[in-house]
Amino acid sequence: MIFLFKTSNKYFYLLGVGGSCFLGFVFLYFLKKSYNNKNNKFIESDNNNKNNFEKEEKEMSQQLIEIRKKINDYSKLKYPTKQGILFKKSRYLKEWRNRFFVIEEDILYYFDIEKGNNSNKPIGTPLGIFNLLNCSFTLITNEKRSPLVFKIQEENGTNKDYKNCLISCESAEEFNQWFQLLPQIKQTMDRKKDLVIKLQALSRKKLQQKKYQQLKESALTIQRFYHLYEGERKLARFIFNVIKVQSYARCFIDRMRYKKIKEEIMVIQSHFQVIKAKNRLEKEFMRRRIAQELLSTEKSYVYNLKLIIDIFIRPLINFNSIEQRVLSVSEISGVFGNWERLYKINSDLLVLIQCKLDNWSIDQTIGDLFIENTDSLFEYTPYVTNYDHSRKLLAKLTSGNTNFRNFLDAAQRDKRSKYLDISSFLIQPIQRLPRYELLLRDLLKSTSTLHKDHKYLSKGIVKIKEITMYVNDQQKERENLSQVIQIQKELIMDNIKLSFSSATRLIREGEIKVSKKKTWNYMYLFNSQLVIIQKKDDKKLVKEVIQLEQLGIRDDNSSSSNTITNDSGTDLLNNSSNNLLLLSSTISSPDLSSSGTNAINTSSQALPIGTIGNKFKLIISSKTEISLYFDTPEEKNNWFADIAITLNRLETQKKNFEKSINLQTIN
Amino acid sequence: MYSFLFKYIIIGDTGVGKSCLLLQFTDKRFQPVHDLTIGVEFGARMITIDNKAIKLQIWDTAGQESFRSITRSYYRGSAGALLVYDITRRDTFNHLTCWLKDARSYANSNMTIILIGNKSDMESKRAVSYEEGRQFADENGLIFLETSAKTASNVEEAFVNTASKIYEKIQKGDFDINNESFGIKLGAPTSKQDGTDQKPAGGGCCK
């Protein structure tokens, strides 16, 4: 026991010296570390210190548990403040045992001592751990073992018995060291804590000042920026407002303008619609009226045709006995022609027209009727060509036949005839036929081009015109034939051969002289020959007959000599402009073939330049020429033009005839 | 009934107003609205010259201007002719020579012809002067008047003057009044007097 005590004294002495040296370093190190940790915690944590401390206590208790698990060996404690072997009284057996006590920072550990050997080393995990900051140290004087005993007790523990222990030492010096050190550690830790708190407060203050400074600068910057922004904002707002107002104004103006234009457009459109509708209505009204006119005139015409049959034709035919007969059958047909046939034709036409107008509508057509049903109108030809004969026969019968004249007077008093005489009725077919074209042409003007009837009416007009022109041409042929026959009867031919054919046409007749000194003679221009006669005692003696095939004419009075002959094959168009002017003006005048006895030919034509005088020459052969003298230059020009045209026509016919002969030869 | 009956014919180019003249003379009306040219087949009216009742019977040749041979049927049997042109269209005046030639050729030599320049109310569109018409009439021995079927200006005078001329010729003995081919007919002296004068139903007049 003494050896052990001596060895223990040395050990404790070394530990005391080392402990007092290390204490300062550990303190500084701990302080620095704690400062850093606290500083970090302060920056991260809130300003509520109470909550912070409570959390710290909980954390420390947990830390003790973790430390105990972690430090399972004495070698893990690296920086002990003080360590040594002390006697500890057990809790249940009440025995004093040796334990190895170590202080590191603010925690007291005690370990079990290895028993076998005398090395005095701690082994195993710590048997107990005390947080010195939470403990109190009291001196115990009533202990039996020795007066050197103190008690360590946790203040905040719920179970006091568990967290307290009695510690005793061998020597008083050692006891004093341990008993003084433990409270010092606590005080040191408390002082450190206060220092940390102060440092934290100081740091907080400085940080606050810094933040305040930064905040102030930021505020100034913000204020400056705010002022600038405010100015700009006001300007922007002003500009925005201006633009907005302008936009509103422009929108308003545009809307007003658009409204005005739209109103104008609507007015124009309404006017257009009204005009269009009115035009359409007027056109349709006119169209219907003309169609109605066609019907009413046809009805009136057919009525008159029937009237003639009832008043004149049937009574004349139906006389019972031969003695009472006023006219013969041939005389009746001579006067009235094919009147009953015309009545049949137009009665059928009237039925068709009536049917069209009974079913009248906007889409009704009437031109198709005239395309398909008017071929029978060709039968007007015999009536028209017979009209002249009818008129003469009627005059003869009226003057010579007393019974017929009385019959006519009685018939005229019939009220149905409206006091018109028979000639007024006989002229009506002559009147009616050309009227169809006039009616249809007016109807075409009132028909829209989109209407179906427009095409039909165009074709109908063409057809009606063909029929009427055919009738007109037949009448013209009839007149010409009568004229030629009349002339043929009047002429007296001695030794001169003169022949007429059915194709002979009279073109012109008039007075001429074959020389200046001789008396006036008379000349006929036919389409194939020229006949000069001499009038003597109301007789017409044929003096000379000139065939036009070999004839040429020359006008010596022109400024330039113009010779037109068939032998040379000269075309009229190749001659000078004088004749062209004359020919063109003559050709444009209608109806060249008409001429009459004692006709006064006053011409409004402009005379060609250079054409003067009243004579020209007939070139019969290379040796024979005849000069013809006329009354006036106009007369001469007319004769010259007619002869030239006739020669040209003969030349054309001759060429066509030769061409046809050649074709036959080739075939 | 009447002492004499004179037959007239109205000739001229298409569209000069032949039917309108006839309608204005017989019915004293003008129909510009409907512009129809058909329906007037005959016109008849009674006038008085030297206390003699004279009936005028007038034939309208509308629609027959292109068919000369058919139109010539009217000339025979006419005592008077109204040769009409349009003062607003010179071509109608230029064609008078052809119409006159036809009239002189196919009618009897004593037919009285009057030259009429119609549409005298359209002064702003005049294309033929009065002097030109007068000169043409004088050169050809025609009576001359300018008329307007629309305003009835000189229409009455046109027909009455022609009738007076014909009546003068009858008094001189130029006409064989027993031959109706001259377009003059004697009225029966023993016929009953009838106050009403039958007029044809007219449908319209030209444009």
Domain spans of chain B, in order of start: 4-186
pLDDT at position B182 is 64
What DSSP element (H or E) covers A88? strand A82-89
> Which segment, A35-39, A303-307, A358-362, is predicted with the most confidence on average?
A303-307
The answer to whether residue A590 neighbours chain B at the CB level (below 8 Å) is yes
Cα distances from B158 to residues B80, B112, B148, B182, in angstroms, run 11, 12, 11, 20
The whole-number pLDDT of residue B190 equals 39
Render pLDDT for A148-190 as a digit per residue (tens, 0 to 9): 787 787 765 554 444 577 888 777 877 777 877 777 777 777 7
Query: Using the 8-state DSSP alphabet, how is residue A606 labeled?
Result: P
Question: Phi/psi of residue A259, each to 5°?
Answer: -65, -45
pLDDT attached to residue A50? 47
Give the number of C-alpha atoms closer than 13 A to the C-alpha of residue A575, restricted to the C-beta side: 24
- A37, pLDDT greater than 50: no
Query: Which one of A409, A602, A638 makes the best mutation probe of the B interface by having the most chain B beta carbons within 10 Å?
Result: A602
Determine contact: B184 vs chain A, CB below 8 A: no
Residues 6+ away with beta carbon under 8 Å from A67 = A107, A129
- Report residue A16 CA to chain centroid gap: 113
For residue range A564-610, list pLDDT tens digits in order: 544 444 433 333 333 333 333 333 333 333 333 333 333 333 334 34
Q: Of A140-154, A221-235, A343-357, A417-431, where does the model show the most confidence?
A: A343-357
Poorest-confidence range of A142-156, A194-208, B124-138, B175-189? B175-189
Give the confidence band of A360 by pLDDT, cuts at 50, 70, 90: confident
Sign of the torsion angle spanned by Cα atoms A460, A463, A464, A465:
positive
Residues A659, A638: Cα–Cα separation, whole Å:
32
Question: Residue B194 has which token pair?
Answer: 């009838």
Tens digits of residue pLDDT in A483-523: 787 777 777 766 665 667 767 767 777 877 777 666 777 78
Higher pLDDT, B27 or A311: A311
In angstroms, the CA A137 to CA A108 distance is 13
Position A51 pLDDT exceeds 70:
no
Q: Which chain A residues in 325-384 lie under 8 Å from chain B, judged by CB atoms?
A: 384
Cα–Cα dist B60/B39, whole Å: 10
Q: Which is higher by pLDDT, B124 or A70?
A: B124
CB B87 within 8 A of CB B116: no
What number of helices (H) and strands (E) belong to chain B? 6, 7
User: Which of A29-38, A116-125, A212-221 has the lowest average pLDDT?
Assistant: A29-38
Q: Tell me: the pLDDT tens digits for A93-140?
A: 777 877 888 887 677 888 877 766 666 678 777 888 777 777 777 777
Q: Kindly report the CATH class assigned to B4-186.
A: alpha beta
Share of chain B above pLDDT 90, in %: 4
> Backbone phi, then psi, for B82, in 5-degree steps?
-100, 110
> For A475, which of B69, B97, B102 is closest by C-beta distance?
B69
pLDDT average, residue stretch A47-55: 49
Tell me the C-alpha distance between A638 and A328, whole Å. 48
Q: Does B177 touch chain A if contact means CB atoms closer than 8 Å?
A: no
SS3 assignment, position A103: strand
Q: Under an 8 A CB cutoff, do B69 and A476 touch?
A: yes
Phi and psi at residue B103, in whole multiples of 5°?
-65, -45
Q: Does B110 touch chain A (CB under 8 A)?
A: no
Cβ pairs A/B, distance under 8 A: 131
Which pLDDT value is given to residue B133? 93
What is the C-alpha separation between A517 and A259, in angstroms, rounded? 95
Which residues make beta-bridge pairs with A111? A100
Find the radius of gyration of the CA atoms of chain A.
78
Looking at residue A606, its pLDDT comes to 37
B78 is in an annotated binding site: no
Concatenating the DSSP letter of every residue in A239-272 gives: HHHHHHHHHHHHHHHHHHHHHHHHHHHHHHHHHH
Q: pLDDT at position B158, please?
A: 87
Residues of B (5-64) whose Cβ lies below 8 Å from A: 5, 34-39, 41-42, 44, 57, 59-64
A276 pLDDT exceeds 90? no
Residue A662: how many other CB atoms lie within 10 Å: 10
Q: Tally the residues of chain A.
A: 667
What mean pLDDT value characterizes chain A? Answer: 71
Which of B101, B128, B135, B142 best tests the A interface by mutation, with the highest count of A CBs <10 A? B101
Q: CB B39 to CB A419 under 8 A? A: no
From the list A293, A427, A430, the residue facing B39 with the nearest CB is: A293
pLDDT band for position A537 (cuts 50, 70, 90): low
Give dist(CA A562, CA A555) in Å, integer: 6
Q: How far apart are CA B171 and CA B195, in angstroms?
A: 27
CA distance to A19, A524, A533, A633, per residue, from A628 (Å): 181, 13, 13, 12
CB distance from A634 to chain B under 8 Å? no
